[in-house]
Copies of this chain bind each other. A is one copy, B any other.
Amino acid sequence: MSIVRYGIIGIGNMGSAHAQSLLSEIKGAELTAVCDIREERLKWAEEQLPENVRKYSTPKELFESRNMDAVLICTPHYDHPALAIEAFQHGYHVLVEKPAGVYTKAVQQMNDAAAQSDRKFGIMYNQRTNPLYQKLRDLIQSGELGEIRRTNWIITDWYRSQNYYNSGGWRATWAGEGGGVLLNQDPHQLDLWQWTTGMMPKRIRAFCHFGKYRNIEVEDDVTAYVEYENGATGLFITTTGEAPGTNRFEINGDNGKIVVEDGKLTFWRLRTPEPQFNAEFTGGFGSPECWKCEIPVQDGGEEQHKGILRNFTNAILHDEALLAPGEEGIKGLTLSNAMYLSAWTDNWVELPLDSDLFYEKLMERVKNSTFQKEASETITLNVKGTH
């Protein structure tokens, strides 16, 4: 194979952006098919996409056309796992948009289907191409920071107005989207939180506020406290209600602290690791000598979605290692599922998550959701500059 033929399922906000990339910017990739169940999006495709890109009105038609090697799933979140499973069954490689799904129970089934297939499976965690977080992961995984003691991510710069939420009837509903800021805005941070540190919590206590700042039924404000196996603690603080908000990720370890903020990575590095200093220090007040190190981060942060498309294409063509294996999508989703469950039960949630219990609690909310699929009107937003 010298070229990967892609079919995109769902050509709304993200799908249409990826279509443009696949048409012109990804070496070794070709867009050969798209599919959308919405007439107005198919009409858009007829008008805007080349004639040789086939247009289908259902995933079934697309799957059966065999007019591609790989499918890129850009539908509403709920449909990701079922479509991925069907794609694997048809023998396609699968690249799924984030989040992996809405609840881990379905995502585990998707992972099982991937495991039984010999096709490639990727997830659009484009922030893994960001040199800032690659460097952070490098400093942690190589041992520069030492054993981690605390993680603290304030990610509150997701401002969304009421009018944004009004732009799609499915938005910010339990039935239509399955969650709010955790599910729509934060999947990347929830992934990076565990990918850069290499640690998943062992238990979570979260405080979610639902429709606090906007007339929506899902959460728009979350504070989550976690504890890790090694004794470290962590915080994840997020909202769509604040302006201008903050994006600051601090990680403390035996050898100092790292802060990622404003596109910069700063490492306050102890000359002597803290445990050693503590063992040897004979004074009263006093602390280890600390150097403020500005860590160089390479350019190239513009790759993002295109970086993932390139990597996935090369994985198929040349067996290049996947930067974001699809199976890892369940990790970030486990974190957000656990946060909801903690808030709903007003209690600790232990990991591994009880995925049946979460599914049950979610379905209670879906049942009472205000969202009605028939009645909803959807506006396609320009997502340039968003993730």
| Distance, CA A282 to CA B167, complexed state (A) | 10
User: Residues of B contacting A245 with CB < 8 Å?
Assistant: 252, 257
A-B contacts besides A156-B252, A244-B268, A244-B287, 20 pairs, CB < 8 Å: A149-B241, A150-B237, A150-B239, A152-B154, A161-B277, A161-B278, A163-B282, A163-B283, A207-B233, A212-B231, A223-B225, A223-B233, A243-B270, A243-B288, A244-B256, A244-B257, A246-B257, A284-B381, A284-B382, A285-B381
In chain B, what residue has the closest Cβ to A384? B285
Would you call B161 and A281 a contact (CB within 8 A)? yes
Would you call A285 and B250 a contact (CB within 8 A)? no
In chain B, what residue has the closest Cβ to A275? B213
* A255, chain B: closest CB distance, angstroms: 9
User: Residues of B contacting A381 with CB < 8 Å?
Assistant: 284-285
- How many copies of the chain does the oligomer comprise? 2
Is the C-beta of A205 less than 8 angstroms from some C-beta in chain B? yes
* A384, chain B: closest CB distance, angstroms: 9
User: Residues of B contacting A282 with CB < 8 Å?
Assistant: 163
* A228, chain B: closest CB distance, angstroms: 12
User: Residues of B contacting A252 with CB < 8 Å?
Assistant: 156, 242, 245
| Distance, CA A279 to CA B161, complexed state (A) | 8
- Return the contact of A167 from the options B242, B274, B284 (Cβ within 8 A): B284
8 contacts between A and B (CB under 8 A): A154-B250, A159-B288, A163-B281, A207-B225, A221-B233, A243-B290, A244-B268, A244-B287
Would you call B237 and A152 a contact (CB within 8 A)? yes
Kindly supply a per-residue 1/0 record for chain A positions 207-239, scoring 1 wherever the CB is within 8 Å of any chain B CB and 0 otherwise: 101001010000001010101000101010101
In chain B, what residue has the closest Cβ to A214? B278
Decide yes or no: A286 and B225 within 8 Å by CB, A242-B150, A250-B246, A252-B242 being known contacts: no
Would you call A162 and B243 a contact (CB within 8 A)? no
User: Residues of B contacting A162 with CB < 8 Å?
Assistant: 278-279, 281
* A235, chain B: closest CB distance, angstroms: 7
Is the C-beta of A386 less than 8 angstroms from some C-beta in chain B? yes
| Distance, CA A245 to CA B163, complexed state (A) | 40
Is the C-beta of A164 less than 8 angstroms from some C-beta in chain B? yes
Most buried by B among A207, A225, A282, A288: A225
Is the C-beta of A379 less than 8 angstroms from some C-beta in chain B? yes
Would you call A287 and B243 a contact (CB within 8 A)? yes
Kindly supply a per-residue 1/0 record for chain A positions 7-47, scoring 1 wherever the CB is within 8 Å of any chain B CB and 0 otherwise: 00000000000000000000000000000000000000000
In chain B, what residue has the closest Cβ to A149? B242
* A152, chain B: closest CB distance, angstroms: 7
Kindly supply a per-residue 1/0 record for chain A positions 242-278, scoring 1 wherever the CB is within 8 Å of any chain B CB and 0 otherwise: 1111100010100011010000000010100010011
| Distance, CA A162 to CA B285, complexed state (A) | 10
* A177, chain B: closest CB distance, angstroms: 16
In chain B, what residue has the closest Cβ to A382? B284
In chain B, what residue has the closest Cβ to A154? B152
Q: In A109-164, which residues have CB < 8 Å from any B CB? A: 149-150, 152, 154, 156, 159-164
| Distance, CA A123 to CA B154, complexed state (A) | 34
* A63, chain B: closest CB distance, angstroms: 32
| Distance, CA A242 to CA B250, complexed state (A) | 12
User: Residues of B contacting A161 with CB < 8 Å?
Assistant: 277-278, 281, 283, 286-287
Decide yes or no: A244 and B152 within 8 Å by CB, A164-B284, A212-B231, A284-B163 being known contacts: no
| Distance, CA A279 to CA B244, complexed state (A) | 17
| Distance, CA A160 to CA B287, complexed state (A) | 7
Kindly supply a per-residue 1/0 record for chain A positions 353-387, scoring 1 wherever the CB is within 8 Å of any chain B CB and 0 otherwise: 00000000000000000000000000101110110
